[in-house]
Structures are given as C-alpha cells and as structure tokens.
C-alpha cells in the first residue's frame, strides 16, 4: 500500500526543513519494534533526533533551555551515549561567551570535537545522517527494503564487474570444479551483505542447505561434508584439524545463520 510511503516522505520532508516533531512522535509510537532491530546494541535513532532538537533549542532559546531539554528528554541515553552527552553539555558552556567574542574563537572551536555545535556545515551532516537513519529504521518497521531491489542489483553488479571480467578470462582457459559457485571473492561493501555466510576452512567452499556448517565440541567450525570426510566413520572419534581435541560426529552441532 502507498500509505506507509506517504508517511515516510512526509516525515522526511519535515526533517529536510529541520523540523523534528513528526519524527520524534513516530519513534515514540514504534519504540518497541525499533528495539528489536539488532543491527546496533542500542537503537541510535532516538538519540540522533533528540541531539538535533537539543541543538535547535540551544540555538533558539539559549543555554538554560537546552540544559532543561537535556534533563527532561535525554537522561535515558546516559548509559548508551554518555560520552556524547558530556560533549553536548560541555559545549553549552562555551556557547554564549562564544557569541560575543572574536570570529577567531569561532574558527578555533569549530575545529575541535565540539565543531558540530558551532559549524553550520557540520550540523547539516548530522541532519543528513539522521534522515538516512530514519529511512532505514522506517523501512525496518514496515518490513520493506530501504532501496529498490533493481538499484541494489545494478549497484552490486557494477562493483563486482571488474573482478568478474578478470575471472571470465581465467575461466575460459581453466576447468571449474564447482560450476554452481564462484571460486573467487567479490569485494562488495558491507552495505551489500544481507545475511551471514560461512566458508569452510578445509574445503574453502561456502556452506549450503545441503552442506551446512557444523560446530565441533572444541568450537571450531567446518562444513558437514568436510567433517564427515575427516571422521571417516561415525563410530570412532576423530581429531579436530585445528586443535588436539577429539570429537564424535554425533557431538557436532549444525549451525543456523540468520
């Protein structure tokens, strides 16, 4: 349906105009769902939005109002973002004196870690980061991809194309033992990693549904086919290829990657 995307575009427009009310209200309504997004130990979107609102209050209403906003809305972030809260509150101490001093002071402070509190360009980067994170979290809540599948495929293909072209020249002269898998690594950024994979250190092949990864009692992991080949018989123990500990096939646990 179109309604979720209409809401997303509406809130993104508000963020583009440096207005946070709709975004903060949306985060409050979906806090329980957002807390299940395990990409981060703690969901960082609420803090990013409250930090921007803190800076807006500081700019428009001054030090006392900003400190009051932090006390009312940002104490919840002390455990997860304590250092950044210290920076915000420490920067407040220089805000008012800074306005009445020479422009030299502006340049000096803007070059420090407090720069985003004084440099408009650095604050714009925070707004852009917040918009990007909000879109990602919104799509997580509605269970839809953040980017078009076609865009992702074309982008990944364009990055992998040079490596694939080199491989095609080699493959034309060499027989490939695993025609259903590429025997090369494609150097794609983390943004294109959508699920975990495992490459067996013995066979150098990735796990598949028919050949899953298994964990030995010692903690080392191999593909199931490699484990069976090393064990030779389920009736007798075999030695792990990476440590002295012995194991039985029945003691090996199949691994599930999500």
| Phi, psi angles (nearest 5°) of residue 188 | -95, 145
pTM for the whole thing? 0.59
Q: Does the structure show a pLDDT above 50 at 121?
A: yes
Bridge partners (DSSP) of residue 246 are: 239
pLDDT digits (tens, 9 = 90+) for 144-192: 877 778 888 899 889 989 888 888 887 777 766 555 666 677 778 877 7
Q: Which of 133, 137, 131, 132 is closest to 18 using CA atoms?
A: 131
Burial of 7 (0-12, 13-18, 19+ CB in 10 A): middle
Q: Which of 219, 214, 224, 223 is closest to 242 using CA atoms?
A: 219
45-61 and 78-99 helices cross at what angle (nearest 10)?
A: 20
Q: What is the pLDDT of residue 140?
A: 84
pLDDT digits (tens, 9 = 90+) for 17-72: 999 999 999 999 888 887 765 554 457 899 999 999 999 998 888 889 989 999 99
Q: Annotate 177-201 with DSSP letters as a single string.
A: S-TTS-SS-----GGG--S---B-T
d(CA 119, CA 110): 6
CB-side exposure of 202: number of CA atoms within 13 Å?
A: 17
d(CA 196, CA 182): 17
Please state the three-class secondary structure of 63-98 as a single string: HHHHHHHHHHHCHHHHHHHHHHHHHHHHHHHHHHHH
Element (H, E) at 253: strand 253-254
d(CA 213, CA 192): 22
**Dihedral sign, Cα of residue 129, residue 130, residue 134, residue 140:** positive
Q: What is the pLDDT of residue 40?
A: 45
Mean pLDDT of 235-243: 91
Cβ of 135: how many Cβ atoms within 10 Å? 17
More confident residue, 128 or 191: 128
């Amino acid at each position: 349906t179109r309604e979720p995307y209409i809401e997303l575009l509406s809130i993104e427009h508000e963020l583009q105009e440096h207005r946070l009310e709709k975004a903060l209200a949306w985060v409050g309504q979906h806090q329980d769902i957002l807390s299940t997004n395990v990409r981060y130990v703690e969901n960082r979107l609420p803090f990013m939005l409250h930090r921007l609102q803190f800076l807006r209050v500081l700019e428009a209403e001054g030090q006392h109002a900003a400190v009051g906003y932090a006390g009312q809305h940002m104490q919840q972030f002390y455990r997860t973002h304590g250092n950044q809260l210290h920076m915000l509150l420490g920067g407040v101490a220089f805000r008012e004196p800074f306005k009445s001093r020479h422009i030299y002071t502006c340049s000096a402070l803007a070059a420090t870690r407090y720069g985003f509190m004084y440099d408009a360009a650095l604050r714009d980067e925070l707004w852009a980061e917040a918009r990007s994170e909000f879109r990602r979290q919104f799509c997580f809540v509605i269970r839809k991809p953040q980017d078009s599948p076609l865009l992702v495929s074309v982008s990944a293909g364009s990055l992998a194309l040079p490596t694939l072209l080199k491989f095609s020249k080699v493959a034309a002269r060499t027989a490939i033992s695993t025609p259903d898998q590429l025997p090369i690594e494609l150097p794609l950024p983390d943004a294109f990693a959508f699920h975990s994979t495992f490459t067996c250190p013995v066979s150098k092949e990735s796990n598949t549904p028919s050949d899953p990864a298994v964990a030995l009692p010692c903690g080392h992991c191999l593909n199931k086919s490699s484990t069976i080949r090393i064990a030779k018989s389920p009736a007798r123990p075999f030695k792990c290829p990476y440590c002295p500990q012995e194991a039985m096939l029945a003691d090996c646990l199949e691994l599930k990657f999500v």
